[in-house]
Structure 1
């Protein structure tokens, strides 16, 4: 069956010889207007007994469908769309539906989203036949052919999930992720209203949720909270490939059954389940491509296999993505004013980058007779980043002309880094869903391990006034021109050094969750409990000079000139840094241990309990709840006793009460209003709250973490309007506000010196250069999103066109510890996404453009009394993707695809204070991938 065409057949009750008659347009519209509303709650599996069609064994949440809000919304929508049709009153009591005829269709449920789209139509027809709704039309209808399109199917899935949610949320379906040219989940999430991405060397890594700091967002995998791999809090998304993802839910207004540590949002990554498809199912994809700057190769491979029957199911998956690229980088420091810049230093860099992400895992499920299940989920991800950096830094003397000039000499420093970054996340979950009387119980135990490690050995060459007759031109501040008389290869360096920069964080978490719910006279009562134990160990050496002179000449390791899109007036070139590192290790180089003052150890226990009542009304529902979270942590560091470091232990306990309320009002059949109040917290990261610090007893100063940091607290409101004006279409407008206290930033704090050293007299205050709590944070904004399709209004070639677009406008502010007022880090004043798509005749194509305004990246300079901050300038990306379905040609479910990223070859710019004062400019080139996807 074609992936762009599926058929649902309803046999006539009359004699086979009865000729097929056309259905009157009005009858067709009436009978089919509801066809895609009969779908299961997203993520809910079809249990084994349900497949067997035994009404008495239907799961409790279906037996009580009329009393639960999420199912009631679906049924009420169907009832409205069938009002006035024969037997439409049968829909008022869904609990009395005879399930057996429907299950004949449910058994066939499976395949890709295109087939599921069509099979939902078939199930709807079978359901209405079962309750006697369609006999009047059955005599006129022998076969219904439903044209289903992949983009349309994914839009329907996401929009229906949004419509049926009890809170303000946006959803991405798996098929939507696969049909954008996105490299990872961060890229995909950045296409939603209110979400923007932050990149590292051009590749999406972090998500800024509604213009807030990255730590204000919590990430979960199948509802299990995942600690941030780098610092215990901040989630990274560059290691999650699409193959593991069935659906991503970006919750913007938090309900009480969600983690309290979600000031801005809660992102739940829902994996595919074995029971999503009946019987055997498999999909595999292979793609190859190129990064055009430097010709780096791209290799993309993933596969997924599943099987399920009435009693058990299993699923396994694997993904392996490799990317080679050149990152062309210039960094600079200027003095002066706009139009009169004076160079302080010019830093020319070029990187060989070899990145990879791997993921594998699976699920095993055993289905119980009462509709429940017992399951084991396994997920393992790994992100690796190997970087070779060739770098020359030119330092200029004081009192030189602005903008352009010639000076006698300048000093040159050279670095030849060969570094490695590794992130790993492993999650194993044992869980069960079952019923006890009228209560539904979901319980799980998870073991979560995350590991982050970075190691950057850097041969470092210092010199003084090695180049002469130095000419500079800053007419283009982002691409300065620099020339001198010497060849760069001939420059000599007086002092060779070797430096190491490294850090590690290993986090072990054990998490138990239980959720219990049942129907009651008002709707649904739900309560639950979570116990989360975390141990984090690690340390670092931000910059540790290990060797004065490393005894290996670097000139023999010359490779060739840089690949660059900027000018190369200095004559920059690549050396084989990996070979240099190998030679150093052969000479006895080993990784140094952590300095005692930089060792990190932290234990944290989070216990949470919540209760939530959903009150169902004819016009919608009200969801009221409260969550209580208790946090107990202890951090270990060092205390200076005389000249000896001794262990230092600092502990803190605090409790937060977090109420929430949500009103979902279906004031018209196709329009909804939502009113939400929510509250949340953001705990300090493990780096911010660590007790470890470097201690200077002479200067009475300490540099390190601040274990006395208070958690950030917030409350907020959301008001959302949603208009489902046509199938697979929506117009949504949301306004929101968050009030945030104790905003964390880098700062100079005054602390008791006796905490860190016994030489400090009682009561003497020392300077702690670490982190502090600001105040008066606020965040408010407007989100508008639109999805529309011409095939709702016309047929033929032009019906294949459609558009998805969203706009976000945000304003924020907070007061630093020193009293300066700044935007919250990560907040852009405006951001928008526009995607024009076409799907027809087996072709599925998109052209996508995204934009985000400038945002604050770092506030360290402000925190240390410099009146400027570090900003990223506005960013733009133009992407293209096309897929072509070969099933009609080959008889197999085969697609070929082409993805292209950064077609406009954008350059990313960071600046200090004002856009005319850049401090970093990076280019990466375009990216192309072509491949094939096979499904069975």
Structure 2
């Protein structure tokens, strides 16, 4: 009842305030003249380009935050270079209420305010971008594909203004690229670095170069960056645990031990170019092009001890003694690729009379592909080892292997203890190839225009945007299987999985109880690439079946948006409000398959929504700024989740469907934000901010009745079938408090006056309710990705050319996968300690040393409690040394 009352109050407040701001012109014309006025160069929203010390970058960020009409957090340019961050996700994680999701230890997605990553939208130079991930399961933007060195600043808009696209429930991130006209003359900036990973001693290297030249009217910039690292990733997993019969049941245990190590080579490349021409002050035309790519070549060495398939024995959560445990090996040399191609042209116009206008035309293509050619085989009979295990430390079960012998017709544990597993005993005849493929391509054309007129104390703004996007792809597909071990000899290309075992032992930091050697995945991949065309020619394998029709989707979405906005400056109070209208249309096509019969289907939808917003900034004194804002936002379903493609069984009662949910409605939210910001002497800041979001139609996974005719075909009504897919829940609430402090201790006596601190802590809470299905409703379900506490702290020292910073990031446990509500996978809290050192040899050259993840953090996922870990991963620390140059 309280949340409902607050929600209705918030909605009424936003609507009333929006109407009130529209009436502000009459009030503003009669208002007294302000005592002071911002200089043109201090106008909020101007690009901030900083190439100085930590304190200078911090000052630029604080300056933009203070002048912004809405609630923002800013990472200025040089702040990126003074952390050991290779991509924009890592750099953004230094800001308040920002957490990161890592893959193999590398930052990929960001989560702001504990919300699902789909609730944050992204712009590049003010033009909206959409994310394309592996399988289209989310619209979240992949930040690991955007090198941080290509950017001049990154702005997190935590409250929206009408010119910002509405598809941002908790925040919008604006990634700003370099402008060549910011600096006159010829300038060259870059860095070269080389280092190593502690685990496996793989190399890492980086390099960047940006060259710009400009005179009073013309500027050009070219830039590029490269980062590469070779790493080992230790990984231990448990596929599942037996379901206990009661809360005190200790007879259940793990169903398997999954022992993995990945040999990974990852690299990011970025290219950037821009031309700007400003023949007259205030009249500028420009063109920019950006290319970024993320590449990951992954070798998998994986062995699964399938405990639940043992011939005999006992097992529980703490220990086990088993006979004839099948060992399954899985290997691959796979490739992940993500590429972004962005081209934009535009013009900006402004006059001394306060009129400004700008136009942007943008094309963006994102291509995300994955290919993991998995080779899999298992042991059988006496080749399956017997074992005992000890889970005194649940993170690192210790397994003792024994030989397996025949006792009559039954298998029995032998007397020989094995120090290693014989990896050449896999059943080659049963070796299979699993074609694991995914590709999603998005093409987007965007036109955006804005115009504003500033009067005495009033600024009127309006604008529009049209975006036309096509999305074609498939979910991650693993349906096609070929029996390569048995069929290789048939086509004259024998394939023996056991022949690729090497004499090189794993370089691992995790205890196990026995040893393993590496498999030559590259040679195995080469043999597989030679074998598959021969199997195809013989009719034994059909690559066209790698991606089932039911996994494919083909969509086109068009968004036509317009807005009006009024900004009224009433002495110490700045009110900015208005309304945005978005007309959204989606054409959605795919294929359903039932009893082997494929039927093309399509679904379309069209909606028109209003998104009001208002922001109030009150300057109580020279040092104190108060903010209050309200807004409405939206989060639209991901491509894979909303796809028409599905597999249907018409013979079940009721019939069953597994696939997308074309009837999935967008998530809508009303929200309020407030903050108190106290600006300290010496470019310091202490602030507290609070927010609340009321969300309708929250996405979650479930199985329930279709309830529509979207899957119907002539003669078959499937509206009552049971669909396993993504659905809309009911009410959701997300709220939190953020505290931040930035301060250089210039008041201390030398040499301590070079010390400074930057830190923040966020407290979060939130949950949602599912639909009522057969009288049952799950209430208070946690949001995916929400840690209830996130904090960052950096202590730095900067003086006499030395710049040193120690940084620590920490987040508490969070839900990673909804699973079946109660059996979902959670992630354990972790912290990362980083150290950065810089020494300016002169005005041109700076030496640097970076050390990341010095705590050698272990990343843990678990089921229900930490006594049931499902994944334990470790990548070790990493070190980089090099030089930065600027002339």
| TM-score interval for Structure 1 and Structure 2 normalised by the shorter chain | 0.7 to 0.9
Corresponding residue number in structure 2 for 1:842: 801
Whether 2:853 is the aligned partner of 1:905: answer no
Q: In 2, distance between residues paired with 1:837 and 1:736? A: 30
Report the Cα offset of residue 241 of structure 1: 1.3
The 5 A counterparts of 1:657-806 are: 657-699=610-652, 700-751=655-706, 755-756=710-711, 758=713, 761-762=716-717, 765-791=720-746, 793-806=747-760
Q: In 2, distance between residues paired with 1:919 and 1:641? A: 35
The 5 A counterparts of 1:503-518 are: 503-518=438-453
Report the Cα offset of residue 521 of structure 1: 4.7
Q: In 1, distance between residues paired with 2:552 and 2:566? A: 46
CA contact (8 A) 2:762 2:789 kept: yes
What SS does the aligned partner of 1:858 have? coil
Which of 289, 309, 314 aligns to 2:195? It is 289
Q: In 2, distance between residues paired with 1:639 and 1:898? A: 55
Corresponding residue number in structure 1 for 2:497: 554
Corresponding residue number in structure 2 for 1:227: 130
CA RMSD of aligned residues (A): 2.4
What SS does the aligned partner of 2:57 have? helix
Q: In 1, distance between residues paired with 2:686 and 2:432? A: 60
CA shift in 2, pair 1:440/1:472, >3 Å: same
Which of 61, 64, 70 aligns to 1:161? It is 64
CA contact (8 A) 1:749 1:771 kept: no
Q: In 2, distance between residues paired with 1:567 and 1:110? A: 49
Q: In 2, distance between residues paired with 1:917 and 1:215? A: 29
Give unpaired runs (5+ residues) of structure 2. 1-27, 404-420, 489-494, 537-542
Which of 572, 585, 591 aligns to 1:619? It is 572
What SS does the aligned partner of 1:233 have? coil
Q: In 1, distance between residues paired with 2:278 and 2:115? A: 42
What SS does the aligned partner of 2:402 have? coil
CA shift in 2, pair 1:364/1:763, >3 Å: closer
Residues 867-915 of structure 1 deviation map (CA, whole Å, 9 limit, x = unaligned):
321111101101000000000xxxx510010000010111000011222
What SS does the aligned partner of 1:255 have? coil
What SS does the aligned partner of 1:113 have? coil
CA shift in 2, pair 1:200/1:616, >3 Å: same
Q: With CA pairs under 8 Å and 6+ residues apart, which has the higher RCO, 1 or 2?
A: 2
What SS does the aligned partner of 2:55 have? helix
Q: In 2, distance between residues paired with 1:641 and 1:873? A: 42
CA shift in 2, pair 1:110/1:93, >3 Å: closer
Corresponding residue number in structure 1 for 2:148: 242
Q: In 2, distance between residues paired with 1:281 and 1:201? A: 37
CA contact (8 A) 2:196 2:203 kept: yes
Whether 2:241 is the aligned partner of 1:334: answer yes
CA contact (8 A) 1:390 1:575 kept: yes
Report the Cα offset of residue 762 of structure 1: 3.5
Report the Cα offset of residue 857 of structure 1: 0.8
CA contact (8 A) 2:567 2:577 kept: yes
Q: In 1, distance between residues paired with 2:255 and 2:49? A: 61
Whether 2:471 is the aligned partner of 1:527: answer no
What SS does the aligned partner of 2:641 have? coil
Corresponding residue number in structure 1 for 2:206: 300
CA shift in 2, pair 1:541/1:871, >3 Å: closer
Which of 529, 536, 541 aligns to 2:471? It is 536
Q: In 2, distance between residues paired with 1:616 and 1:698? A: 68
What SS does the aligned partner of 2:426 have? coil
Corresponding residue number in structure 1 for 2:761: 807
Q: In 2, distance between residues paired with 1:639 and 1:385? A: 33
Corresponding residue number in structure 2 for 1:394: 305
Report the Cα offset of residue 647 of structure 1: 1.8
Which of 112, 129, 132 aligns to 1:209? It is 112
CA contact (8 A) 2:49 2:77 kept: no
Residues 821-851 of structure 1 deviation map (CA, whole Å, 9 limit, x = unaligned):
3111111010111111000110000001110
CA contact (8 A) 2:643 2:662 kept: yes
The 5 A counterparts of 1:416-455 are: 416-435=331-350, 439-455=355-371
Whether 2:75 is the aligned partner of 1:172: answer yes
TM-score by length of 2: 0.87
CA contact (8 A) 1:834 1:848 kept: yes
Report the Cα offset of residue 373 of structure 1: 0.4
Deviates more, 1:704-713 or 1:365-374: 365-374
Whether 2:763 is the aligned partner of 1:860: answer no
Whether 2:304 is the aligned partner of 1:353: answer no
Q: In 2, distance between residues paired with 1:763 and 1:877? A: 51
CA shift in 2, pair 1:369/1:469, >3 Å: closer
Whether 2:98 is the aligned partner of 1:195: answer yes
CA shift in 2, pair 1:754/1:311, >3 Å: closer
Which of 490, 514, 517 aligns to 1:570? It is 514
Q: In 2, distance between residues paired with 1:339 and 1:284? A: 61
What SS does the aligned partner of 2:266 have? strand
Report the Cα offset of residue 694 of structure 1: 2.1
Corresponding residue number in structure 1 for 2:254: 343
CA contact (8 A) 2:712 2:719 kept: no
Residues 18-73 of structure 1 deviation map (CA, whole Å, 9 limit, x = unaligned):
xxxxxxxxxxxxxxxxxxxxxxxxxxxxxxxxxxxxxxxxxxxxxxxxxxx9xx9x
Corresponding residue number in structure 2 for 1:136: none
CA shift in 2, pair 1:526/1:491, >3 Å: same
The 5 A counterparts of 1:642-653 are: 644-653=597-606
Residues 148-185 of structure 1 deviation map (CA, whole Å, 9 limit, x = unaligned):
xx011001100000000001110001100110111211
Whether 2:273 is the aligned partner of 1:362: answer yes
CA shift in 2, pair 1:566/1:654, >3 Å: same
Report the Cα offset of residue 263 of structure 1: 0.2
What SS does the aligned partner of 1:914 have? coil
CA shift in 2, pair 1:641/1:483, >3 Å: closer
CA contact (8 A) 2:334 2:373 kept: yes
Report the Cα offset of residue 490 of structure 1: 4.2
Corresponding residue number in structure 1 for 2:229: 323
Report the Cα offset of residue 410 of structure 1: 0.9
CA contact (8 A) 2:549 2:592 kept: no
Deviates more, 1:402-411 or 1:262-271: 402-411
CA contact (8 A) 1:111 1:277 kept: no
TM-score by length of 1: 0.82
Report the Cα offset of residue 229 of structure 1: 2.2
Residues 430-462 of structure 1 deviation map (CA, whole Å, 9 limit, x = unaligned):
100014775311101101100100111111103
Q: In 2, distance between residues paired with 1:572 and 1:628? A: 61
Q: In 2, distance between residues paired with 1:642 and 1:302? A: 55
Whether 2:436 is the aligned partner of 1:501: answer yes
What SS does the aligned partner of 2:63 have? helix
What SS does the aligned partner of 2:431 have? strand
What SS does the aligned partner of 2:254 have? strand
Report the Cα offset of residue 390 of structure 1: 0.7
CA shift in 2, pair 1:674/1:653, >3 Å: same
Corresponding residue number in structure 1 for 2:418: none
Report the Cα offset of residue 553 of structure 1: 1.2
What SS does the aligned partner of 2:451 have? strand
